[in-house]
Chains A and B, each alone.
Chain A
Amino acid sequence: MSTQDIEQKKPGGNFRWEFVPGNLSVSTIVRAVIVVALVMFAVTTPGFLTMPSIRSLLSTMSFMGCVAVGMTFITLSGNIMSFSLGASLSATSIVFVVLLPQGVVVALAAAVVFNAVLNGAQGLLIGYFRANPIIVTMAAFALITGTFTYLTGGRGIYVLTNDADFLKANLGPVPGPFAALLVCVIVGQAILWFTRTGRNVYLVGSNPRAALAAGIEPWPTVVWSFALAGVFTSVSAIMMAARYGSGDLQHGIGMEYQAISAVLIGGNFIGGGQGSVLRTLSGIVLISVFQGVLVLRGFSTEMQQLLIGVVVFLVIALQWRKES
């Protein structure tokens, strides 16, 4: 490992790295070319730079975006991805809607705590017992889906009061969900930059043995990563419950795959230890702009899925330099 690599992994080093691309690797150049091409493509698309288009873009990207911010912590901590974030989003939306009659504050707090504990428990099994993250999160997916199908009978639960309507409000021209996404990004990045847990996420993600040798037990960091993923995902769950007026097992289907796509397209290293929430934000924006442009140019939803899959694949293939 060269000194430059170590430099990048220090939180301070990261701070610079985000804004000044210090080393011009192939992947950095390719990424810049992709961004420029996409911007040209977007600007020349008729109807893209209009207020309704941009507003709908900002709203739709926010639900997936908060999950992606959460997923960033799991990826950075060296645990690749969680297969249960989508299911836990659905479960949290149901918890929120069910508790809404007890008061909005109670419902909000319960939803956040519920999802933090739900994912933190998976983090505990993965961190403390070093169980495989793929297996544990897949098992959690099946358990959460099964349990909540039992509890709800497989039907959506609808909001009967208008207590949660304030969550649908917009801040002037800014759509409410997008404001929530920005808050998530700022909080998430602040955790990575300014807290000890944030620094440990990088350390444990890049080399858990080195962390242990340095006297830092890796498992609390893994638990924190999963719990934070749960907290950010619960923001998405609450917003979706408010927007659609229901808690439903359908809300989160496939969300984990969209989220990991954004994390990887943003340039976070799939092996952990390198990346940031800001990179994830760029991934979220890239995917959403790409999708928006494809829609306006008349591509079908199916074609969008294929093209985004291809882009994710290419981005992963571009990471080869770092791992060898």
Chain B
Amino acid sequence: MRPLLQNPVARPYVLLVVILLILVAFGGNRVLAPAIAYSVLQQFSVLGPVALALGITMMLRHFDLSVAGMLGAAGCLAVIFGGDAPLPGLLVAIAFGMASGAFLGAVIVRLRLSSIGVTLGGLLVLNGFAYVVTGNREIGFPRLDVTRFVDFAYLNAFSPRFLAALVLFAIAGAIMSWTRLGRDVLACGSDPRAAKTAGVSVEWIVVGAFTVSGAMTAMAGGLLSYSLAAASPSGLADVLVPAAAAAIIGGVSLGGGRGHPVGIAGGVLVLCLLRTGLTALGVPPFIHDIATGGVLLVVGLLDGGDLSRRIAEAARLFAKREV
């Protein structure tokens, strides 16, 4: 058990099993129904790509706040362009995401700015953009056949939307595990200067990561709008908190240089199972907010630079008093 808990990729899956057991203990067969699995995977198809996008930038010691704006903006674009031809509409949204991500990445690298500031600006611009293109209204998506297709549950659980997200995770996982690029990404994250000295083109990797981040988020946003048959400029922070939480639960370190897509997938599954399971048990939705916030707070605290030092200090103080 111990090596399993120390492996950051395996840890979220251990947590997943524990949560599943608890839910089954309270809800029995209600939790094990195929509809629940379908619901978990449907949520995965939105939160997954966004958490992966955020997680990849976090591995590089950056933070892409703009994903929250991109999700809405890409959804609006896909619906506007996809009425006649859904696939080209989705491609327009993805191209927009790539262009936006590449631009933000280039600004961060060329001007040596903090990614948080730049992507905060990007978030506000993208959000404004979504309001302008939709005219602050909800835009309907008239293609019910497309809506039915992206959400169709093959084998009662797997929708094309989920499979698209799964493919993203598979590609990202393969790159991180088996290619030089993957090792370069972690090297850039743990020590950019050393990586640069060793001949890694840190700038290109950062620009590439933000480009990929924009593209993945745009894909998730476009497919989400197709699934909802509507797009609207949404609230700002709705997806940011769970995405950051999923990445951190999945073993991505805020200090950069650590993390793996398989772990992130586990983190996303944990949050999706928690939300769906609690809903199935009839627990009101605010409990889920509190649970997500609590988990994020605890993990953030454990990740904090001084926790062990402060505990040691407290222990010393306590020991002195004993003497």
Contacts and interface: CB of A to CB of B under 8 A. Distances in A.
Q: Does A pair with B?
A: yes
Interface string B83-121: 000000000000000000000000100011110111011
B301 interface: yes
Interface stretch (A60-68, A174-182, A306-314): A306-314
Contacts of B128: 302-310
Residue with the greatest number of chain B CB neighbours at <10 A, chosen from A128, A302, A323 = A302
Given A302-B135, A308-B124, A146 B289 contact: yes
B136 A300 contact: yes
A304 B136 CA distance: 12
Interface string A289-318: 000000000001111111111101111110
B131 A306 contact: yes
Contact of B293 (A141, A301, A314, A319): A141
B301 A125 contact: yes
Contact of A129 (B289, B294, B307): B307
Interface string A93-131: 000000000000000000000000000000001001111
Nearest to A86: B237
Contacts of A19: none
Contact of A139 (B107, B254, B300): B300
Nearest to A146: B289
Interface residues of B, number: 55
A129 to B, nearest CB: 4
Given A138-B296, A141-B241, A143-B297, A80 B116 contact: yes
B240 A138 contact: yes
A83 B297 CA distance: 13
Interface residues of A, number: 53
A134 B244 contact: yes
Contact of A302 (B136, B235, B240): B136
B114 A271 contact: yes
A323 B116 CA distance: 14
Interface in B130-164: 131-132, 134-136
Contacts, number: 178
Interface in B239-295: 240-241, 244-245, 248, 254, 284-290, 292-294
A254 B236 CA distance: 7
Contacts of B285: 149
A132 interface: yes
B290 A143 contact: yes
Interface stretch (A10-18, A32-40, A257-265): A257-265
A81 B63 CA distance: 13
B305 interface: yes
Interface string B302-321: 01111100100000000000
B213 interface: no
B135 A300 contact: yes
A136 B236 contact: no
B58 to A, nearest CB: 10
A103 B285 CA distance: 34
Given A309-B121, A317-B121, A270 B303 contact: no
B132 A302 contact: yes
The 4 closest A-B pairs by CB, nearest first: A306-B128, A146-B289, A142-B293, A313-B121
13 contacts: A130-B307, A131-B304, A132-B304, A134-B63, A136-B297, A140-B293, A146-B286, A270-B114, A300-B136, A306-B125, A313-B125, A317-B118, A323-B114
Interface of A: 80-81, 83, 125, 128-132, 134-136, 138-143, 145-147, 149-150, 154, 253-254, 257, 260-261, 264, 270-271, 300-310, 312-317, 319-320, 323-324
Given A135-B248, A135-B300, 11 more contacts: A80-B116, A80-B117, A131-B307, A134-B116, A142-B289, A146-B290, A149-B286, A305-B132, A316-B120, A317-B118, A319-B113
